[in-house]
Each structure stands twice: as structure tokens, then as C-alpha cells.
Structure 1
Amino acid sequence: MKQAPFIAVEGPIGAGKTTLASMLAEELNLPIIKEIVDENPFLAKFYENMDDWSFQLEMFFLCNRYKQLEDTVTQYIDKGNPVISDYHIYKNLIFGERTLNGTKREKYRQIYHVLTDDLPKPNIILYIKANLDTLLTRIEKRGRPFEEGMDTAYLEQLIKDYDDAMASLAIQEPSTVIITIDGNAVDFVENPEHFTEIVSYIKELMK
């Protein structure tokens, strides 16, 4: 049986993933899966010392996202109902490959594949691509204390990592539709026409 539409909104920190996913969920009357961020007890410590806290941080995210994905399968995918998420589980590898080293990285890779390889993945990805200035502006606007003073070099590298990851997903999952949104030019919050265009495209894909 063909999998029901499983839409993921992705992009680097500050791209507007949750905002767009929430707007689409409301417009299309879809259930939404939001990643747990603020509840991660290691997040503030990670930004203070990435080397010491990266493994704990990434494992917390991976386990929580795995549980959310498992629940999503039971509640929606297995029943043939569409759903939207403000992340793709693959983001765990994007961040893990950047923050972890040596044996910790290898252990993390193994755990990731054990948990996720047999679970359904999104078949539609909205990738919000944005440059450093755009991301920094949005990060400052949302005002999360633990993101203050974020290393811009880390954020710049994440931008490249996301581009590479989307290219890899296009090869690994050729049936997945990846839509790239220019986050520097497209303002789906302030410009209703931009949002309407995105909605129209998603509706066509969901038919």
C-alpha cells in the first residue's frame, strides 16, 4: 500500500521550520509533530561547551524523536492518514556528524540506524535554505537564551551540512519529493502570496 503523505519541514537553526509546519498544519487541517527542543536538559550546557556535552545532547534528541516517529507510525501512517512534522529524523545524523568525534560518533551512527532504519520516512520534504544573515536575524528575533552568542562558524557549517544532507537524501530516497524554499527571498509569514504558493504546491503533491 502506498504510504500516506508524510511531510517534513527542514532547514538549519532559525530557518523557520516550526513556523511553516504550524501554518501548513492549520491551513491543510493536518496533525503536526513538533520536535522537543527547549525541554532538552543538555542544550544550554552544549552551547557553553560542545565537546563535553554533544553526545548527551544528541542522544536525548535521537531518543525523543524516535519515540515521536514511532507514535506517528501508529497514530497516522499505519492508518493511511497524512501528517506533517517540523523535522526529518535524518537531522540527527546531520548534527551528530558535526558535533561528535571518534568512537562516540561511531556509536551514535550505529544507534541511529538500529532505531530508525525500519521506520517510515517523510515522502515530502520542504527544505528551507537560508544564508547566515537570515538565520541570525531569525534566531535573534525568537530570543531563546541558550542561543545567544551562538558560534557563527558552527552555524555556517550547518548551512553547508544541510545542503549536503539534502543532496544525500535525494540519492538515498529517490521517491521522496524535496522542495527547496529560498528562505532569503520567500517570507511565508509576512507575505500571504508566498505562503499560498507553498500551500498550492503541497496540495498538488498530496493528490
Structure 2
Amino acid sequence: MSEPFITVEGPIGVGKTSLSKAISEAFKYHLLKEIVDENPFLGKFYEDIDEWSFQTEMFFLCNRYKQLSDINHILDKQRSVVADYHIFKNLIFAKRTLKPVEYEKYEAIYNILTKDMPKPNMVIYLHASLDKLMERITMRGREFEKNISRDYMEQLSKDYHEFIGHFEKIHPDIPVIYLDGDALDFVKNEEDLQNILKIIKEKLQQRSLR
């Protein structure tokens, strides 16, 4: 795949969608946004994770599979794409919330569905402190997120960091850009945003020279 396909990833509330929109506008890329609000199980999930995790994760997997299938048509038309998620996040959440027997079944379905999916050729990993993440979750005021606990978010952040390290090892050809959400405010600070866009542009230029 020759066209840039960038995915922005990180824990809940870190600013993935905001940064993806900014990249889309700056580089005139097609924007792919994950479906969250339409998941009918999400509110129940945060109330009782053990009871509703399998239904929640299967809904996300099926919807993301459909979205990425459609993205193939965009890339085939030689139009670049930036997404506010990478489908690998499904495994991060599923491994943490599903029972071992459920996860085994889930992983088998995941591997079948994602076998021929388009893979990004750049990943931007946004991370931030637990306090910052909880603050942003509270500020955006989503009803289904009101029951997210600090313990859950702390573990999720650790899971993300471990997974990104593993991702870099198995995909050494896909550059990962690390961005500190505590040090950078790309929403309110134009200089921070321009610095991020400069890093992305440089990485894209390096890729085109290979």
C-alpha cells in the first residue's frame, strides 16, 4: 500500500479524535472515526464488565471490520487516510475484560476478520497521566463513561503501553510516534499542533524516500 494510512491510538480520553481531525484537515486526508456512541452495550459494560464484556467487544469488532473493509476502497483510489483508532485496540480491551474461554473464541474470530484488513503504515501513540485522562473523561461528560473507575483506567494505560511495545517489535517497519498528552496541548496551543504536524510530515517524507 503506497498511500499513507495513519492511525492514532491511546487510552480513553487522551485526545485521539481531536488529533485525527487536525491531521485530516492539515493534510487533506480522509478521516475515519471509530463508532462508540452507537454501541448499545457500552453503558451496561461499565456498570458490569463481567456480564457485558463479550457483547461489547463483539459489537466493536464487527463495526470496525466493516469500517476497515470500506477503507480499502478509499486507499485504492489513492487517497490517504487517518483514523482515530487501530483495530488492535480490540485485543487490548478484550484480553483485560473477557474470561479466558471467551477470549480464546474472540481472538479466533478477530484473527479471521482482520487477516486481510488494510494495515496502517504509521501509528501515533498518545499517552497521558491518569489524572489527565480522568479529567478529560469528566470534561466531555459522556453518560456511558460516568462509571469508568480510576483503577480501570490505570490498568488500561499500562495495557496500552505494553501492547505498543509489543507492536513495535513485531512490526519494525511501521513507525510509532510517541506523544505526551500532559506536555502537549494540540487543541488549545497552535504551536504544539504545528510541531506534531511537522514530526508527521518528516516521517512521511522519510517513508517516501525508501
Report the TM range for the smaller structure's normalisation. over 0.9
**Deviation digits for residues 4-34 of structure 1 (CA, Å, limit 9, x no counterpart):** 1110000000000001101111111111000
Cα offset for 1:171? 1.1
Task: Report the residue type matching 2:159 in the other structure.
Answer: D
Distance 2:35 2:172 in 1: 28
Distance 1:149 1:101 in 2: 21
Distance 2:6 2:166 in 1: 18
Distance 1:8 1:144 in 2: 23
Distance 2:67 2:27 in 1: 21
Cα offset for 1:74? 1.8
Distance 2:61 2:127 in 1: 23
1:46-195 aligned at under 5 Å gives the runs 46-76=45-75, 78-195=76-193
Gaps of 5+ in 2: 206-210
**Deviation digits for residues 70-89 of structure 1 (CA, Å, limit 9, x no counterpart):** 1101222x233210000001
Cα offset for 1:39? 0.4
Counterpart of 1:206 in structure 2 is 204
Task: Report the residue type matching 2:191 in the other structure.
Answer: E
Counterpart of 2:16 in structure 1 is 17
Counterpart of 2:208 in structure 1 is none
Report sequence identity in percent. 52
Task: Report the residue type matching 1:173 in the other structure.
Answer: H
Cα offset for 1:152? 1.1
TM-score (norm 2): 0.95
Counterpart of 2:194 in structure 1 is 196
Q: Could you list the runs of 4 or more consecutive aligned residues of structure 1 that deviate by over 6 angstroms after TM superposition? A: none
Greater Cα offset, 153-162 or 140-149: 140-149
Distance 2:203 2:115 in 1: 25
Cα offset for 1:150? 1.2
Q: Secondary structure at the match of 1:126?
A: strand
Distance 1:181 1:124 in 2: 13
